[in-house]
Amino acid sequence: MSLNDKVALVTGAASGIGEQCARKLATDGAMVVIADLNLANAQRVAEDIVAAGGNAIAVAMDVTSEETVNAGVAETVSRLGGIDVLVSNAGIQIVNRIEDYAFADWKRMLAIHLDGAFLTTKAALKYMYASNKGGAVIYMGSVHSHEASQLKSAYVTAKHGLLGLARVVAKEGGPRGVRANVVCPGFVRTPLVDKQIPEQAKALGISEQAVVKDVMLKDTVNGEFTSVADVANTVAFLAGFESSALTGQSVVVSHGWFMQ
């Protein structure tokens, strides 16, 4: 499935999963927009993609700010001519038991994961509808869109919420050619997960090795981490799907940790 001449904006694309999604979409022919809070890293990724023969630009975006989201999407449209694919991926993790979970941390988590998904969707839909070409919206969910884990109240709440948002976008956008789906990875070794391992070890009173083996990968079929490539390939598949049959779904990529 070719993404030639499509414009794909990926949030949180300066690192980890988002970065690999952007690289894969560019390899498949899309013009990609590396949208991230960290502009220096976003520019590095965009330059790398261009050096490899792809098409990419970097834009500064804080997904919790309506102003910077609207500005980043407007810049995308004015520089690249439109927006066909949105990958709402930016995210962070804060782990703590509910009784110790700071309200400020809860609000920050929901702002990045849910406000960010809403604001980028709202901004992108405006142009997808106006173009009459439709588009694809892909949310970066998680196995935690379906399962719960200790210490992750805000994350699990937010990731479950993305399923609801995707279903509404699928219904509202369907008649106008916009599909919406959620990709739900298991644990992927990125900076977000590397930071959590010592934090979880401390909170659960176990070794870091035990966090990986007995918490993160315990329920997978083969004790393996999901890779950034696994996730990016799934995103590219959903982005390029050629009919509106595949919409309102979640696709779990987790070595069988969660089976639906």
- Positions that interact with ligand NAD (CB under 6 A): 11-12, 14-18, 36-38, 61-64, 89-92, 112, 140, 142, 185, 187-188, 190-193
Strand order in the sheet with 178-185: 55-60, 31-36, 7-11, 85-88, 135-140, 178-185, 250-253
In the structure encoding, which two tokens stand for residue 235, read together?
């995103």
For 51, the 3-state DSSP assignment is helix
Coil, helix or strand at residue 146: coil
Q: How far is the CB of 5 from ligand NAD (least distance, A)?
A: 26
In the residue annotation, 139 being an active-site residue is answered as no
What is the rounded CA–CA span in Å between residue 90 and residue 35? 9
Catalytic residue among 101, 127, 139, 155: 155
Return the number of the residue (88 or 247) whose C-beta is nearest ligand NAD.
88
Q: Which is nearer to ligand NAD, 145 or 247 (CB)?
A: 145
Nearer to ligand NAD, 63 or 178 (CB): 63
Tokens of 249: 């779904």
> Shortest approach of ligand NAD to residue 8 CB, angstroms?
16
Q: Buried b vs exposed e over 189-228: b needs ≥16 C-beta within 10 Å? A: ebebbeebbebbbebeeeeeeebbeebbbebbeeeebbbb
Minimum CB separation of residue 90 from ligand NAD in Å reads: 4
We find the least distance from the C-beta atom of residue 159 to ligand NAD, in angstroms, to be 7
What distance in Å separates the CA atoms of residue 209 and residue 164, rounded to the nearest whole number? 35
Are 137 and 124 in contact by the 8 Å Cβ rule? The answer is: yes
* Phi-psi sector, 195: left (phi>0), alpha (psi -120 to 50), beta: alpha
Q: Which residue number, 134 or 229, has a Cβ lying nearer to ligand NAD?
A: 229
| Cβ atoms < 10 Å from Cβ of 259 | 9
Nearer to ligand NAD, 190 or 250 (CB): 190
The minimum distance between CB 173 and ligand NAD, in angstroms, equals: 21
Segment (H or E) for 80: helix 66-80
Cα–Cα distance, 16 to 53 (Å, whole number)? 21
| Closest approach of ligand NAD to the CB of residue 92, in Å | 5
Residues annotated catalytic, as ranges: 155
